[in-house]
Structure 1
Amino acid sequence: MSTAMSTSGHIRALLRIGLPLIGGHIAQFGIGLTDTIMLGWYSVEALASVVIGGSFFFVLFILGSGFAIAVMPLVAEADAQDDQVMLRRITRMGLWLSTIFGVLLLPIFFLSGPILLGLQQTPEVADLAQVYLRVAGFGLTPALLVMVLKSYLAALERTRVVFWVTVIAVPVNAIVNYALIFGNWGAPEMGVQGAAVASITVQFVSLIGVIIYAVRALPEHALFKRLWKPDWEVFARVFRLGLPIGLTNLAEVSLFSASSIMMGWLGTIQLAAHGIALQLASLAFMLHLGLSNAATVRVGNAMGRRDADHMSRGAKVAIAMSMSFAFVATLVFVLFPEPLLGAFIRPDEVERDAILAAGVTLLYMAALFQFVDGAQILALGLLRGCQDTRGPMVIAGISYWMIGVPSAYVLGFVFDLGGVGVWLGLVTGLTAAAVLLMYRFWITDMNRLRLKFVG
């Protein structure tokens, strides 16, 4: 096979796996956007409390998601070796770990009010957020279980079902939100509790959907066979791989959370502009995230076949595709900043012009970090495919918290660059992560795996 044919094959494979995953991530983004819009229509207090409560939930979800993400490369490797027993054992223990995590953290949701007060939130916001979280907390376990099963299906390159399950969840969420937040169609008006019930409904509908698909489409895997039986060897393997992934994700999310706190110090206009620019940057990030997931599957498959050359070629193609996505996003942000930002602001908003002026500058900063943000998440995907998660966890901690956060503070407040300085700090942290993670994959892991596969 020629190199050109090999490259086109990698492109087709990455698109076949990655495009449905990208669509699924964008649909998931749409669910959060729907919540934000509807709660904004209901009341400012409800919106503020669920933004805080949703962030609280998301941090815990991201930490627990490491076990689900760990399932992806392990199942891809087992599938490449045609080991259906190991494939089932890995997925089953991923379900176990996610369930245990969700149950153990449930009390935190009931104590969220005092925790949020300790984080300097106002009593009104903390109380209303606790009302939301005491209901939404019951959705953590099903949300994590859905993610485990999505990882299992993605590893088997059955990503279309992952896409459709998430797409169906968007209107379900909107309909239940509309009924329960506002009390429409004879339903009780529940406000923030209605939004929480809608979230749980979506999570259980999604869980039922992926379970039915897995049982009917892949009966040969007998996925839920002896689900009650512990498998401590594989349990430990998934735990060792998954915990560092969860902590890595947490480090990255907390970098952006810290930037939001700093932007809040600069005032309401800067914070509003930051929130909108970050939403747009997050939407572009979904492209890179889906491609990163696809890269994890492809590298995990190459691990199972012990084919370092295939892994190397696939990684190069994935990087080139990510840079192409980044180039397009950069052009859009630079050429159309005001229409993009204006879509999030009411035409009659008194502070509209001030928010747009601040947001345009921040969107230029978002354009600046498209390439490094794509590179760092893609590198993490490649490393996870190699089942290398502890080193990346350390690199993430150093890059995001020892470089990114201090740089944001120094540039924003010591050098008095304001919001631009905070975002330059984000660029600095993401650049450090991209360089160090790519170095680890190409120099450390690829050399190690070439020697291992030859031996």
Structure 2
Amino acid sequence: MVLLAWPLALTNLSQMALLATDSAYLGHLSTEALAAVTLSGALFWTVLSPGFGLSFAAAAMLAQERGRRVGHVRAMRRTLRAGLLGAVLAAVPGMVLLWNGGAVLLALGQEPGLAEKAQDFLRCILWGIPAFGIFLTLRGLMAAMERPWPPLVMGLLAVPLNALLGWVLIFGHLGAPALGVRGAGIAGAVADGFMAVALAIFIARDRRLRRYRFFGRLWRLDMARLGRLVRLGLPIAAQMLLEIGLFSAVGLVMGSFGAQAVAAHAIALQIASTTFAVPLGLGQAATARVGLAIGAGRPWAARRAGWVAVLLAVAFMLPMALGMMLAPGALARLFLDPAAPDTAETAALAATLLFLAGLFQVSDGVQVVGAGALRGLHDTRAPMLIAAGGYWGLGFLAALALAFPAGLGPAGIWAGLVLGLAGVAGAMTWRWARLSRRGGLTARARPA
């Protein structure tokens, strides 16, 4: 599990590094440019949710098909074709929305100047969305094949490529025009294209993978397989939208408490997102390991893989939680300029939020790994309903109640997140335990 999960986790961190590079460049360009691209982030990740859902569904299907062994090559080839087609089709509505991103942000009450700059950025980076969806689908294939290192290599190579292109296009070095936020968008789209093309070339040329002929007859439409992929993937996409929407809504509510609260929220969220990349990789590995075992008709192995992934998530997130709870102030000051006049107040609030983030680290890790293990069983509807109830029915309502009627302010919002994530983690674990105890794995294990 560790050998499969760590490269997946590092690949997730490489995707974060792409965004961090753009933020660093644009922060030196102007505060307005950084704010505009930061504002674009929530909208951009929201439209990526359908692609993520379909890619995770494809990974689950591919893992079970490989586990069956008999006839698995043809089945995997058909699923991959459906996954690649689904990734491209899922990108189209999002691209249309992002092309009109400025109007969307204006409708949400954002400043016209920031909305205009955000639209410039979005109209450039949106061209990389189909390629990013293809990369995610191919990464799921490599996870099912238990070869996670090639996607990691492509992701790591994309970081310096994005950094070089951003440096040239944002600031106008090496004789190029200074494009500002447009340059950041172009660099991001090119990096996404590079990852997809490079990974596809590797799969087509690798000696061990070449015999599968994964890209053979790509033009053939398999509507039945695509329909199955959509039915499995839409609940995953909805679950991701619920989670992304929760943190986006929390960010908007945080704005009512002023700039310092927004800055403190951004610091705590950045650190929590970084630690989250590791259990996210464990969840992706759990999908593959559970799916392989179920496809092979080995329910005991699937049960063991799911619980091992959960325990590994706890083992990693527990020290992360202790670090945030024991040294929140030191972590917060890493993101702040000591010479700024309001640093002390912002650092104090960020330290409070980081302490609360420490309280939900274990819950956050367990819930994402639980969802990944359940995806290996092709169980996606129940996790979606759990996310709806936990994130919004419990977490967001508690955040509003604690922040305003209870008078806890920004700390109350993050306390609500603690409750919501704890509820989701408990429900995901209960569902996995229930399926294991009552023979749910045996019912899904259908050897060829």
1:360 equivalenced with 2:346 (yes/no): no
Aligned to 1:288: 279
The alpha-carbon deviation at position 365 of structure 1 amounts to: 0.3
Aligned to 1:448: 440
1:117 equivalenced with 2:106 (yes/no): yes
Aligned to 2:66: 79
Aligned to 1:6: none
Equivalent pair of 2:53/2:236 in contact (CA under 8 Å):
yes
1:268 equivalenced with 2:255 (yes/no): no
Which one of the candidate residues 380, 401, 424 is aligned to 1:433? 424
TM-score, normalised to structure 2, is 0.96
Deviations along 1:356-399, one digit per CA (max 9) or x if unpaired, are: 10011111001000111111101100110110011111111111
The alpha-carbon deviation at position 451 of structure 1 amounts to: 4.2
1:136 equivalenced with 2:128 (yes/no): no
Equivalent pair of 1:274/1:359 in contact (CA under 8 Å):
yes
Distance 2:218 2:210 in 1: 15
The alpha-carbon deviation at position 208 of structure 1 amounts to: 1.2
Q: Which moved more, 1:339-348 or 1:392-401?
A: 339-348
Counterparts of 1:60-75 in structure 2, within 5 Å, are: 60-75=47-62
TM-score, normalised to structure 1, is 0.95
Q: Secondary structure at the match of 2:174?
A: helix
Distance 1:452 1:303 in 2: 7
The alpha-carbon deviation at position 35 of structure 1 amounts to: 1.1
Distance 2:43 2:312 in 1: 33
Aligned to 2:396: 405
The alpha-carbon deviation at position 453 of structure 1 amounts to: 4.2
Distance 1:229 1:364, change over 3 A: same
Which one of the candidate residues 16, 30, 33 is aligned to 1:43? 30
Distance 2:421 2:444 in 1: 31
Aligned to 2:241: 250
1:33 equivalenced with 2:24 (yes/no): no
Deviations along 1:290-325, one digit per CA (max 9) or x if unpaired, are: 111111111001111121111112222211111111
Q: Secondary structure at the match of 1:223?
A: coil
The one-letter code sitting in structure 1 at the alignment partner of 2:381 is R
The one-letter code sitting in structure 2 at the alignment partner of 1:210 is L
Distance 1:314 1:264, change over 3 A: same
Distance 1:301 1:454, change over 3 A: closer
**What's the Cα RMSD here?**
1.4
The alpha-carbon deviation at position 454 of structure 1 amounts to: 8.8
Which one of the candidate residues 10, 14, 23 is aligned to 2:10? 23
Equivalent pair of 1:142/1:204 in contact (CA under 8 Å):
yes
The one-letter code sitting in structure 1 at the alignment partner of 2:199 is V
The one-letter code sitting in structure 2 at the alignment partner of 1:413 is F
Aligned to 2:329: 338
Distance 2:62 2:147 in 1: 12
Counterparts of 1:304-315 in structure 2, within 5 Å, are: 304-315=295-306
Q: Which moved more, 1:345-354 or 1:147-156?
A: 345-354
Gaps of 5+ in 2: none
Aligned to 1:200: 189
Q: Secondary structure at the match of 1:185?
A: coil
The alpha-carbon deviation at position 149 of structure 1 amounts to: 0.6
Equivalent pair of 1:154/1:162 in contact (CA under 8 Å):
no
Which one of the candidate residues 201, 211, 214 is aligned to 1:220? 211
Aligned to 1:10: none
The one-letter code sitting in structure 2 at the alignment partner of 1:313 is R
Counterparts of 1:96-175 in structure 2, within 5 Å, are: 96-175=85-164
Aligned to 2:342: 351
Q: Secondary structure at the match of 2:110?
A: coil
Distance 2:384 2:436 in 1: 15
Distance 1:192 1:453 in 2: 50
Equivalent pair of 1:150/1:162 in contact (CA under 8 Å):
yes
Q: Which moved more, 1:309-318 or 1:120-129?
A: 309-318
Distance 1:166 1:425 in 2: 34
Distance 1:71 1:445, change over 3 A: farther
The one-letter code sitting in structure 2 at the alignment partner of 1:44 is T
Equivalent pair of 1:114/1:126 in contact (CA under 8 Å):
yes
Equivalent pair of 1:76/1:301 in contact (CA under 8 Å):
yes
Count, aligned residues: 442
Distance 1:453 1:20 in 2: 28
Deviations along 1:14-58, one digit per CA (max 9) or x if unpaired, are: 111001111111111111111111111101111111111122111
Equivalent pair of 1:241/1:387 in contact (CA under 8 Å):
yes
Equivalent pair of 2:154/2:199 in contact (CA under 8 Å):
yes
Equivalent pair of 2:68/2:297 in contact (CA under 8 Å):
no
Equivalent pair of 2:295/2:446 in contact (CA under 8 Å):
no
Q: Secondary structure at the match of 1:346?
A: coil
Distance 1:31 1:451 in 2: 42
The alpha-carbon deviation at position 139 of structure 1 amounts to: 1.3
The one-letter code sitting in structure 2 at the alignment partner of 1:372 is S
Q: Which moved more, 1:327-336 or 1:113-122?
A: 327-336
The one-letter code sitting in structure 1 at the alignment partner of 2:185 is A
The one-letter code sitting in structure 1 at the alignment partner of 2:64 is E
The alpha-carbon deviation at position 121 of structure 1 amounts to: 0.5
Distance 1:193 1:54 in 2: 14
